[in-house]
Amino acid sequence: MMQGIVKEEYVIILDILPNGYPFDTRPMHKKTPIAQAIGKKFFTLLELVPKKEESLQLSEEVYIGEGKRDKIHHILGKIAMDKLTETAKGELDMILKDLVSRNEERFVAFFNNASPINARRHQIELLPGIGKKHMWEILEVRNEKKFESFQDIKNRVNLLPDPEKIITRRILMELNNEDKYRFFVGIP
């Protein structure tokens, strides 16, 4: 299930540490400001170094692609979920909900196109809160007619938890490496 390297074009700022990390013991003049961010498309968690003259805001969308960057000097690299600051973790939930709702089409397509992983497991079963019973109902209902929206999924599948929340929770699980399968994080 290994794909090529995915690169984010845009990120959303989760936290800004103007004096770097508090545990950095180097002298003040050697510390660099750090921004923690999440990629808009592949949900990659990144550490960034902003340009000296630029100030970033929480939840701000910033370009980090191959072209000229306005606010980011360079990308330090990926960061693990457990290395996020408390502020970043707090922002993450809200930002993920927003990204999921703004990309509804992409996630509804997952419900429409999800397939078996092997003879015993289906991709839909790996979504939090969905067991075999819901999985079979989703498959049956989508065979009649593809889903058109989160609301359509809610209306047509009995007692299903909120599909937006299910997707958001799945992305968080993938960010936390709680499952070996990847459907949303780092997948082109």
Domain containing residue 160: CATH number = 1.10.150.280
* Residue 3 covered by a domain: no
Question: Do 27 and 68 share a domain, yes or no?
Answer: yes
Domain that holds residue 29: 10-84
2: confidence class by pLDDT, cuts 50, 70, 90 = very low
Question: Do 111 and 79 share a domain, yes or no?
Answer: no
* Residue 164 covered by a domain: yes
In Å, the largest CA–CA distance within the chain is: 65
Instruction: Round to whole Å and give the CA distance between 25 and 38.
Output: 26
* Residue 94 covered by a domain: no
Here the tokens at position 113 are 């196109």
Q: Report the CATH number at residue 63.
A: 2.40.50.140
* Residue 59 covered by a domain: yes
* Residue 128 covered by a domain: yes
5: confidence class by pLDDT, cuts 50, 70, 90 = low
Total structural domains in the chain?
A: 2
Give the DSSP H/E element, type plus range, for residue 164: helix 163-175
The pTM of the full predicted model, rounded to 2 decimals, is 0.90
* Residue 122 covered by a domain: yes
Least confident residue range of 9-13, 22-26, 73-77: 22-26
Instruction: Using the predicted structure, report yes or no on whether residue 1 has a pLDDT greater than 60.
Output: no
Average pLDDT, the chain: 92
* Residue 61 covered by a domain: yes
